[in-house]
Amino acid sequence: MSINHHLTDDLVMAYSTGALPEAMNLVIATHISLCDDCRAALESYDALGGAVLENCASAEMSGDSLLSVLGTIQSGATSMPKPVQSARKQDDGLPLPLSEYVPGGLEKVKWRSLGMGVKQAVLPTTAEATARLLYIPAGTAVPDHGHRGIELTLVLQGAFQDADGYFARGDIEVASEDLHHTPIADISEDCICLAVTDAPLRFKGIVPRIVQPFLGI
């Protein structure tokens, strides 16, 4: 599998340090499980972080440090998908980091229509960002939109094209507030993506703007 679109260094570094919300960790871990280049970059940042920690001065811990850490673990606040070392898949055909979020695989997904044959399924993550699966029929365009924050879109099946280029399986698009685009699924196959946003999209059309609050996009 040839991957042509990768994560930015800033995102890989933030993932390495645990500074991102769960939804972004999920899409980044899934991409890293498929991409040798980004996995190597992550290993470099992890090694750098380890070296920094080794050279840091020790700090005195408070008496309730252990209880505080255990409480954080029990609350689930430290949840972060772990990247695997190859593109191995579960029996459901999904990359390993994504499998536990999609019980039963894509065949069991409960899709919700967005119109024009486009469907979505929101995945359970913390509230700081939203992760969703997107199903785009072959040759179909997603409504023209911009961004109020960042949008990470990872192709799981098929391909799509927009102003930033052509994205096939394993490619990830990093869209910021300066990108306004109309993704169109390749005519050869239905496209399924894992998309993560940390703010509502900016739709140009009146109909998408009206239904946006009800669809959570």
Residue type at position 117: G
Q: Closest Cα partner for 11 from 31, 147, 47? A: 31
CA torsion 106→107→113→119, rounded to 10°?
A: 30
pLDDT by residue for the chain (217 residues), tens only, comes to: 789 999 999 999 999 999 999 999 999 999 999 999 999 999 999 887 555 555 566 667 676 766 776 776 676 554 555 554 444 455 567 999 999 999 999 999 999 998 889 999 999 999 999 999 999 999 999 877 777 889 999 999 999 999 899 999 999 999 988 888 889 999 999 999 999 998 876 666 665 655 556 556 6
pLDDT at position 171 is 98
pTM recorded for the entire structure: 0.80
pLDDT at position 13 is 95
Query: Taking the domains of the chain in order of start, what are their residue ranges?
Result: 105-215
Q: Domain spanning 105-215: which superfamily?
A: Jelly Rolls (2.60.120.10)
Beta strands in 62-164 (DSSP E): 112-115, 118-123, 130-136, 145-147, 151-157, 159-162
Taking a C-beta distance cutoff of 8 angstroms, is the pair 159, 187 a contact?
no
| Integer Cα distance of 209 and 207 in angstroms | 5
| Integer Cα distance of 142 and 3 in angstroms | 23
